[in-house]
C-alpha cells in the first residue's frame, strides 16, 4: 500500500485516540488483506474489527521493536490463518460461487467479485494455496519487501523467497492452463 511505510508520528495521546488513529490509518488495508485470505467481504470486515480490538488490548505491550504496520499486519495474518484453518470457515457456503446467483441480488460484493474475477490474474491469485497467496499478496498488492514479509508471517526470509518463487511458478502454470483451456474445467 502506498505510504504505509511512512514513519508514523509519535502518538502521545490516550489509548482510545491511538486506536482511532491506527484504525483510520490501517483499517482499510487490514480489511483488504483479510479479504485475500477469506474471500468474503463480511468475514473480512468482522476480522478487521477483531484485529483492532486485539491491537487495543495489547497496546501497552507494543514496545516499538517493529513498526506499527508490521505489528498490525502480523496480527492480521495470524487471525486470518486461524480463521482460515477453522473447520467452520472452510465449510461455509462460498458466496463467491453461488450466493448471488441463488439469492439473485446484485450486491456490492457480487459486483466487486465480478470485477475481480474478470481480472484473470487476480482470480488466479485468489485461487492459490494460502501459503503462496499470502506472500504474493503481501509483496505485490501491499508492497512489502521480503524481510518485511518474513517479520509479518513469522517465516524466514529464505522461506519467503522460496514461497514467492513457487507461488509465481504456480501462477504461471495456472495462467498458461487457463489460456489453453479457456477457463479451466471447474470454478
Residues that bind other proteins (CB under 8 A): 15-16, 19-20, 23-24, 27-28, 30-32, 35, 41, 45, 48-49, 52-53, 56-57, 85, 87, 90-91, 93-94, 97-98, 100-104, 106, 108, 111-112, 115-116, 119, 121-122, 125, 129-132, 136, 140-141, 166, 168, 171-172, 175-176, 181-187
Contact present, 119 and 134 (Cβ < 8 Å): no
- 90 versus 156: smaller Cβ distance to other proteins: 90
CB of 170 to other proteins, least distance (A): 8
CB of 76 to other proteins, least distance (A): 12
Compute φ and ψ for 9, nearest 5 degrees. -65, 155
Nearest to 81 by CA among 121, 41, 135: 135
Write b or e for each residue in 95-117: b if 16 or more Cβ atoms lie within 10 A of its Cβ, otherwise e.
bbeebbeeeeeeeebbeebeebe
The SS3 assignment for 167 reads: helix
- The dihedral formed by the CA atoms of 3, 58, 46 and 66, expressed in degrees to the nearest 10: 30
- 11 versus 175: smaller Cβ distance to other proteins: 175
- 15 versus 147: smaller Cβ distance to other proteins: 15
CB of 177 to other proteins, least distance (A): 11
Amino acid at each position: 500500500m502506498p505510504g504505509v511505510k511512512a514513519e508514523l508520528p509519535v502518538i502521545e495521546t490516550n489509548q482510545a485516540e491511538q486506536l482511532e488513529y491506527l484504525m483510520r490509518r490501517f483499517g482499510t488495508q487490514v480489511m483488504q488483506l483479510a479479504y485475500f485470505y477469506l474471500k468474503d467481504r463480511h468475514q473480512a470486515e468482522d476480522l478487521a474489527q477483531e484485529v483492532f480490538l486485539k491491537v487495543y488490548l495489547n497496546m501497552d505491550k507494543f514496545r516499538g521493536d517493529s513498526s506499527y504496520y508490521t505489528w498490525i499486519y502480523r496480527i492480521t495474518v495470524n487471525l486470518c490463518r486461524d480463521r482460515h484453518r477453522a473447520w467452520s470457515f472452510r465449510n461455509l457456503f462460498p458466496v463467491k460461487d453461488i450466493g448471488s446467483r441463488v439469492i439473485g441480488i446484485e450486491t456490492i460484493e457480487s459486483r466487486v467479485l465480478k470485477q475481480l474475477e474478470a481480472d484473470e490474474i487476480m482470480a488466479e491469485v485468489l485461487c492459490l494455496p494460502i501459503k503462496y497467496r499470502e506472500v504474493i499478496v503481501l509483496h505485490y498488492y501491499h508492497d512489502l519487501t521480503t524481510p518485511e514479509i518474513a517479520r509479518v508471517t513469522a517465516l524466514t526470509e529464505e522461506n519467503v523467497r522460496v514461497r514467492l518463487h513457487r507461488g509465481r511458478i504456480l501462477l504461471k502454470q495456472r495462467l498458461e492452463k487457463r489460456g489453453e483451456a479457456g477457463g479451466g474445467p471447474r470454478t
